Amino acid sequence: MCALPPFGKLWIMPRPDAFPEFENLRSHGKELRQSSLVDLVNAPRRLKTMQLEAEGIFVDMSKALLDERALELLLALARKQGLADGIRAMCEGQPINNTEKRAVLHVALRNKSDRPGFVEGRDVMPEVRAELSKIEALARAVRSGSWRGHTGERITDVVNIGIGGSDLGPRLICEALEPYWNCLPSPLVRPHFVSNVDGADLGRLLKGLRPESTLFLISSKTFTTPETIANAKSARAWLCSKLGEEAVARHFFAISTNEREVARFGIDPSRMLRFWEWVGGRFSLWSAIGTIVAIAIGPERFFELLEGAFVMDEHFRTAPLEHNLPVRLGLLDFWYSTVLGAESLALIPYSQLLASLPSWFQQCAMESNGKGVDRDGFPLSYPSASIIWGAPGTNSQHAFFQLLHQGTRFVPCEFVAAIEPSYDFEGAPHHVMLLANMIAQSEALLLGKDLESVRQDLMKEGRSTEEIEALAPHKVFPGKRPSTVILMERIDPRHLGALLALYEHRVFVQGWMLGINSFDQWGVELGKRLAQTIVEELKGAAPPSAHDPSTQALIARLRNKLKDLLQAKSGE
Catalytic residue numbers read: 367, 398, 528
Which residues fall within 8 angstroms of residue 540, CB to CB, at 6 or more apart? 559, 563
Which residues fall within 8 angstroms of residue 15, CB to CB, at 6 or more apart? 81, 374, 380, 514, 515
Span from 101-109, 163-171, 426-434, 487-495 in contact with ligand F6P (CB under 6 A)? 163-171
CA 286 from centroid of its chain's CA atoms: 13
Strands (E), 340-461: 344-349, 387-389, 413-418
Of the two residues 65 and 279, which places its CB atom closer to ligand F6P in the complex?
Answer: 279
Q: What is the DSSP letter of 4?
A: P
Of the two residues 212 and 367, which places its CB atom closer to ligand F6P in the complex?
Answer: 367
Of the two residues 46 and 233, which places its CB atom closer to ligand F6P in the complex?
Answer: 233
Residue 230: CB minimum distance to ligand F6P, A: 12
Asked if 106 is part of the footprint of ligand F6P (rule: CB under 6 A), the reply reads no
Residue 256: CB minimum distance to ligand F6P, A: 8
Can you tell me the distance from the alpha carbon of 97 to that of 119, in angstroms, rounded to the nearest whole number? 12
Contact call for residues 93 and 119 (beta carbons, < 8 A) = yes
Asked if 28 is part of the footprint of ligand F6P (rule: CB under 6 A), the reply reads no
Contact call for residues 82 and 14 (beta carbons, < 8 A) = yes
Burial of 259 per CB tally in 10 Å (0-12, 13-18, 19+): middle
Residue 536: CB minimum distance to ligand F6P, A: 21
Span from 46-54, 104-112, 220-228, 434-442 in contact with ligand F6P (CB under 6 A)? 220-228
Of the two residues 220 and 422, which places its CB atom closer to ligand F6P in the complex?
Answer: 220
Asked if 344 is part of the footprint of ligand F6P (rule: CB under 6 A), the reply reads no
Asked if 165 is part of the footprint of ligand F6P (rule: CB under 6 A), the reply reads yes
Which residues fall within 8 angstroms of residue 520, CB to CB, at 6 or more apart? 97, 99, 100
Residue 501: CB minimum distance to ligand F6P, A: 18
Of the two residues 225 and 369, which places its CB atom closer to ligand F6P in the complex?
Answer: 225
Of the two residues 261 and 457, which places its CB atom closer to ligand F6P in the complex?
Answer: 261
Which of 63, 106, 171, 221 is the binder for ligand F6P (CB under 6 A)? 221
> Closest Cα partner for 206 from 229, 235, 230?
235
Asked if 163 is part of the footprint of ligand F6P (rule: CB under 6 A), the reply reads yes
Asked if 371 is part of the footprint of ligand F6P (rule: CB under 6 A), the reply reads no
Residue 366: CB minimum distance to ligand F6P, A: 11
Bin 101: left if φ > 0, else alpha if -120 < ψ < 50, else beta: left
Contact call for residues 375 and 98 (beta carbons, < 8 A) = yes
Span from 222-230, 460-468, 483-491, 560-568 in contact with ligand F6P (CB under 6 A)? 222-230
Span from 39-47, 104-112, 158-166, 322-330 in contact with ligand F6P (CB under 6 A)? 158-166
Span from 112-120, 145-153, 159-167, 383-391 in contact with ligand F6P (CB under 6 A)? 159-167
For 119, phi then psi, to 5°, come to -125, 120
Q: What angle do CA 460, 461, 465 make, to 5 degrees?
A: 85
Which residues fall within 8 angstroms of residue 161, CB to CB, at 6 or more apart? 194, 195, 202, 216, 217, 218, 219, 228, 231, 232, 235
Which of 249, 432, 459, 524 is the binder for ligand F6P (CB under 6 A)? 524
Residue 531: CB minimum distance to ligand F6P, A: 12
- Other CB atoms within 10 Å distance of the CB of residue 247: 18
Q: What angle do CA 546, 547, 551 make, to 5 degrees?
A: 150
Asked if 166 is part of the footprint of ligand F6P (rule: CB under 6 A), the reply reads yes
Of the two residues 196 and 560, which places its CB atom closer to ligand F6P in the complex?
Answer: 196
Residue 411: CB minimum distance to ligand F6P, A: 26
Residue 250: CB minimum distance to ligand F6P, A: 24
- Other CB atoms within 10 Å distance of the CB of residue 331: 27
Can you tell me the distance from the alpha carbon of 35 to that of 63, in angstroms, rounded to the nearest whole number? 13
Of the two residues 166 and 344, which places its CB atom closer to ligand F6P in the complex?
Answer: 166
Residue 141: CB minimum distance to ligand F6P, A: 24
> Closest Cα partner for 412 from 30, 27, 131, 61?
61
Can you tell me the distance from the alpha carbon of 145 to that of 151, in angstroms, rounded to the nearest whole number? 13
Of the two residues 215 and 255, which places its CB atom closer to ligand F6P in the complex?
Answer: 255
**In the stretch 266-295, what mask flags binding to ligand F6P with x, by CB under 6 A?**
---------------xx-------------
Residue 317: CB minimum distance to ligand F6P, A: 25
Size of the site for ligand F6P (CB under 6 A): 14
Of the two residues 484 and 521, which places its CB atom closer to ligand F6P in the complex?
Answer: 521
CA 530 from centroid of its chain's CA atoms: 26
Contact call for residues 29 and 438 (beta carbons, < 8 A) = no
Of the two residues 108 and 288, which places its CB atom closer to ligand F6P in the complex?
Answer: 288
Span from 161-169, 429-437, 472-480, 485-493 in contact with ligand F6P (CB under 6 A)? 161-169
**In the stretch 119-138, what mask flags binding to ligand F6P with x, by CB under 6 A?**
--------------------
Span from 9-17, 219-227, 350-358, 552-560 in contact with ligand F6P (CB under 6 A)? 219-227
Which residues fall within 8 angstroms of residue 495, CB to CB, at 6 or more apart? 56, 57, 308, 418, 488, 489
Burial 426-436 (b: 16+ CB within 10 A, else e): eeeeebeebbe
For 160, phi then psi, to 5°, come to -90, 120
Which of 417, 431, 521, 538 is the binder for ligand F6P (CB under 6 A)? 521
Q: Where does this chain bind ligand F6P (CB under 6 A)?
A: 163-166, 220-222, 225, 228, 281-282, 367, 521, 524
